[in-house]
A and B are shown apart, each in its own frame.
Chain A
C-alpha cells in the first residue's frame, strides 16, 4: 500500500514553511483577470431595475419605451405583475444594451406601478405576547420560503418538523413547482402531517425558533454564589465583497451556456443553473480565474445569474454582463444575521460556572434565522435557551465567514467576562478555571491562553474594572475563545506526468485569496520532489474534476488531501517504470531535489526528466480523491481552538475606541503554508476590528431601505485603524499529526468579543452592542454615571 501519510517534520522541505503566494505576481501587476474584468467579443451590458420598497406588490410594468430605444437588445421581466417583493432592491426588470450608459437610460424609461405593503425592518427586542409558537406552516409560509430562496433541505426539515396547515391540491403543488420548489420539497408537502386548526392563524413576524433546557438551571441559579445579568448584541452587517456579485453569460449554441461568474463554488454552479434554465448541467460550462472576495456570500448563481443567462438567450445568445452596482451589492447580495440576548450566568465564589440562561433574538431577513450556538465553547452544566427569529424585510441573509459563531462569541464571552468582573477575578484566571468545560479542546486552549497572555503582556495590562474620570484616555484588555470544524470537503484532483517531465494538475476548485493555489503546489512539489514552478496548476473551470465549494474552512483539507493522493499514486506509477533502469525495486526509490534515486544511494539516480522519459509516449494521469477510505490514512481532520486578546484605548470625551494591539493564537492541525496561514489570521483580526467598531447595515424604519448602501457610510476599517497585530500558529507535536484543518473561519470569530471585553475593562462598563461606536460608548458612560 502506498504511503499517503503526510511526511514527518524531518522529511518535509516545503510543508509548514513560509512560501510566497504563487498568484501574487499577477495580482500586483494588475494582470489577474476577475469575472468583472472579462470582456467577451460583442458583449452586451446589463442593468437591473430594482424595487424601491421593502414590501410591495408589483401592479404593472411598462417596458415599451425601453424596448424601442436604439441600442437596447433585450428587456426581461424578472418579477412580473402580481409578484410580492419582500425587500428593497429586489430585481424587477433587467435590460441588455450595447453599452452601459444606454442600459442605464433604458432602465429609466421603464415604468413600474407598485402597491406598497406594510414592512418591518427592525430587529429590536420582540414585543411580549407577539410571538408565535412554533407550529404548522401555512401555504403562504411555503410561498414565502420559495420566494426567499430558502434552501430545499431546510424547507423539507421544517415541513417535516412542523407539519402544514392545509393539504395543498395538485394545482397548488404545480404553482410551487413553478416557483422553484424541488421534488424533495413537493414530496415532503404531499406526505406532511396536516393540522387544519392552525390554518386560520395570522402569521407573525416573531417566531419562537428554539427552546432548550439541560440540567436544572433553576436550582443551579438558586445555589450560585454570584449571578450576572446583561444585554449583548451584534447587528446585521454585510459581506461587502470588493468584487460585486455577477456574471457574464453567453449561449455557444441554443443548448449550451458558457458563464463566467464570481463564485466560491465553481463545480457546484451548473447543478444550480440547470433546472431554472431547463438544460442539463453538463451543458453548462463555468469559468473563473480569480474572485474578488466571497466571505460566504457567493455559493449560488443567484436569481441575477439565472436571468443574465436568460437575457443573453433573448439577445440571440450574445454575451451579457451583469455585475451588481455597489448599492445593490450591499442591499441584496449578502448580510450576516443579527443576534441579541439577555443573558444570565451563575458561578460559585471560586469562579466555577454553574448556570446559563439566555433569551435571544435576531433576524436573518425574511427567513428568520436560527439561534447562535450559545453558550459558546464552554458547556455550562445547567442551561436554558430560548430564541425568537424575526422575519422581516431587511433582505435575505447569507453565510458570513464562520456563520453564527462571531455572534455566539459576543453573546457568551461578554456575559462571562461581566461575571468575572462581578467576581472581581482576572478573566485569564476565570476562563482558565473553567477550561474543563471546553472538552475536547481543553489542553489546546490552556496552551493558547498562556501563549496569548505572554504575547499581550496581559499581567501588566489587565486591571480590575474601575472608575474613570471624564476626559481620561482609558486603556483596557479583553479576551475571547472560539472553535470551528474545518474538515476537508470532497475534492477530485487529476495529476498528469508527461514523458518530457512536465507536470500538470487540474482541480475544479477556486482560490478565494486564501492561498489555495499555493498550497496545492506545495503539496505536489513536496510529494514529487520537483520545484513548484515546474508544475502547471489549473483551477476554476467545470471541465476539471469537481471540488467542493469554498465555505466553512473546508477547502485546504480537501484539496491538499486529493492532491497528496494523486501525487503519491503518480509518483509510485513512475517508480514502477523507472525501477528496472536503476536495477532496483519500485519501493526502493524516492523523489528528492528533482531526482529519482535509490534510497540511501544517491549515486544511483536519474534526473526527473530522464525518469519521466521512461514513461514512453503516453502521459500518465491519475486521480486523487478526498475523502478516500481505500487510501488511508485520513489526511484531514476537524476541530480547532483559538484564543484572541485585544487592547484598546477609549477617549472618554469623544467615545472613540482605538484598538492598540491584538494577539491571535490559533491551531489548524498541519499547516501547509505558514505565510498564507498567518495572513488568514492577520486578515481576520482586521475584518474583526472592522465589524467591532464600524460595520452595521442601517435600516430606515419609515422607508424600509438601507441608509448606508455605499462605502462612505458603510465603513470598512482602513489602514490607519489597524494596530500592532501578533499571530502565533500552534504547530509541532500534538498539532501536526492531526492532519490538515481549515483556517478561514476560526480567527474571525473572536475579535468582536475580545474588543468589547477590552472596552468594558477600559471604561468599567459594558457597551452592549457592536459596533462600538462613539455614541454607544458615551451612552454607556452616561448610564454608568447616572447609576
Chain B
C-alpha cells in the first residue's frame, strides 16, 4: 500500500525531518498548563549541546503560504492544519481523521504532498506551503480541478480539496501514469461518498491532455 509518494506525506517518516514528532509533543504538552504569553526560544544545554526550546506558551511564527507571508503567535503543539484553518482561514484543507490516515488535509510543502494534520506549524515555517486555494488563478480552475468538475469527481466534497492537491502533486511527478501508478500513488486519500470512479477518470483526462 505504501510507496514513495505516500512516505513523503508523513514528515515523521522522513529522515530529514528534525525535531519532535507531533505525537511526542502531545505527550509532552500534557505536563504543563498552557501559558498565554508570547516568548522566543530559551536555550538550554542538552547532551552537551545548546538546544533552543520553544514554548509551552505561544511563540511568534512566520509562514510562506501560497506566495504570501503570514504571521501568528501559536503554541508549538499547534499543527500546520489547525494554523491554516483557524488562524489564516484557509479552510480548503479539511480536518477529518487528524492523524495522518485519510489525506483530506493534504497540502504541498516545498512541492511535496504532506498531511497538514501530521506536521507541526512550527516545523513548517519558512517552507513554501501551497494549499488548494492557490490552484485557481484569476477565477480559472487548474486543469485537474476542471477535470474533477467534468467527471463528477466530488459528491459531498469534503475529501475533494485534499484529493485535488494529491492528484496535482501525483501528476506533476507522473505526467503519464499507468493504472498501477494511479492505484499506488493515490492510496493515501479516502472518500466516503465513493467518488473514486470519477477521480480516476479525472486523472486520465488530465494525463491525456497534459496539465
Contacts and interface: CB of A to CB of B under 8 A. Distances in A.
A28 B101 contact: no
A108 interface: yes
A513 B198 contact: no
Contacts of B86: 39, 99-100
Contacts of B98: 325-326
Contacts of A690: 194
Interface in B17-41: 29-30, 33-34, 36
8 contacts: A25-B149, A33-B91, A326-B97, A512-B155, A513-B193, A686-B195, A718-B190, A722-B197
Interface stretch (A523-531, A635-643, A708-716): A708-716
Given A20-B152, A242-B94, A242-B156, 17 more contacts: A20-B149, A24-B152, A27-B157, A28-B148, A28-B154, A100-B86, A242-B102, A290-B156, A293-B193, A325-B98, A513-B155, A676-B152, A682-B197, A683-B193, A710-B97, A718-B190, A722-B200
Given A20-B150, A30-B91, A30-B93, A719 B34 contact: no
B133 interface: yes
Given A242-B102, A679-B195, A102 B34 contact: yes
Query: Of A30, A37, A295, which is in contact with the most chain B CB atoms at under 10 Å from its CB?
Result: A30
Contact of B132 (A29, A295, A684, A686): A29
A745 interface: no
A683 B93 CA distance: 22
Nearest to A689: B194
Interface in A661-689: 675-676, 678-679, 682-687
A679 B198 contact: yes
Interface in A240-262: 240-244
Given A293-B158, A719-B189, A686 B197 contact: yes
Contacts of A291: 156
Contacts of A720: 1, 183-184, 186-187
Interface in B105-155: 131-133, 135-136, 141, 145-146, 148-150, 152-155
Contacts of B183: 719-720
Given A29-B132, A30-B161, A716-B190, A71 B34 contact: yes
Interface in B159-194: 159-161, 164, 182-184, 186-187, 189-194
Contacts of A594: none
A187 to B, nearest CB: 40
Interface of A: 20-21, 23-25, 27-34, 36-37, 39, 69-71, 98-102, 105, 108-109, 240-244, 290-293, 295, 325-326, 512-514, 675-676, 678-679, 682-687, 690, 710-712, 716-720, 722, 725
Contacts, number: 191
A242 B96 contact: yes
A35 to B, nearest CB: 11
Nearest to B159: A242
Interface string B75-105: 1011000100110011111111111011010
A101 B29 contact: yes
Contacts of A295: 192
B91 A683 contact: no
Nearest to A99: B86
Nearest to B160: A27
Contacts of B97: 326, 710-712
Contacts of B148: 24, 28
B206 interface: no
A711 B156 CA distance: 18
Contacts of B153: 28
Contacts of B96: 242-244, 326, 711
Nearest to B179: A720
Nearest to B200: A719
A518 to B, nearest CB: 10
B196 interface: yes
B104 A242 contact: yes
A676 B190 CA distance: 20
Contacts of B89: 39
B36 A27 contact: no
Contacts of B146: 28
Nearest to A27: B157
A439 B146 CA distance: 45
A292 B194 contact: no
A101 B77 contact: yes
Contacts of B77: 101
A108 B26 CA distance: 13
Given A29-B133, A30-B131, A679-B155, A719 B91 contact: no
A560 B161 CA distance: 29
Contacts of A719: 182-183, 186-187, 189, 191, 196, 199-200
A722 B96 CA distance: 22
B157 A722 contact: no
Contact of B158 (A292, A326, A684): A292
B154 A513 contact: yes
Contact of A29 (B36, B101, B145, B198): B145
Query: Of B94, B161, B191, which is in contact with the most chain A CB atoms at under 10 Å from its CB?
Result: B191
B150 A725 contact: no
B99 to A, nearest CB: 6
Nearest to B82: A100
B10 to A, nearest CB: 12
B135 to A, nearest CB: 7
Nearest to A108: B30
B150 A242 contact: no
A29 B104 contact: no
B130 to A, nearest CB: 11
A293 B193 CA distance: 7
A60 to B, nearest CB: 23
B166 to A, nearest CB: 10
Contacts of B159: 242
Nearest to B133: A30
Query: Of B77, B104, B141, B192, which is in contact with the most chain A CB atoms at under 10 Å from its CB?
Result: B192
Contact of B141 (A25, A102, A105, A514): A25
A177 to B, nearest CB: 38
A262 B201 CA distance: 30
A23 B98 CA distance: 26
Contacts of A100: 82, 86
7 closest cross-chain pairs (CB), A and B: A30-B92, A686-B194, A292-B158, A683-B194, A513-B156, A27-B157, A513-B155
Given A687-B192, A719-B182, A719-B196, A37 B85 contact: yes
A562 B75 CA distance: 51
A684 B192 CA distance: 10
Query: Of B104, B141, B156, which is in contact with the most chain A CB atoms at under 10 Å from its CB?
Result: B156
A116 B152 CA distance: 50
A36 B94 contact: yes
Nearest to A686: B194
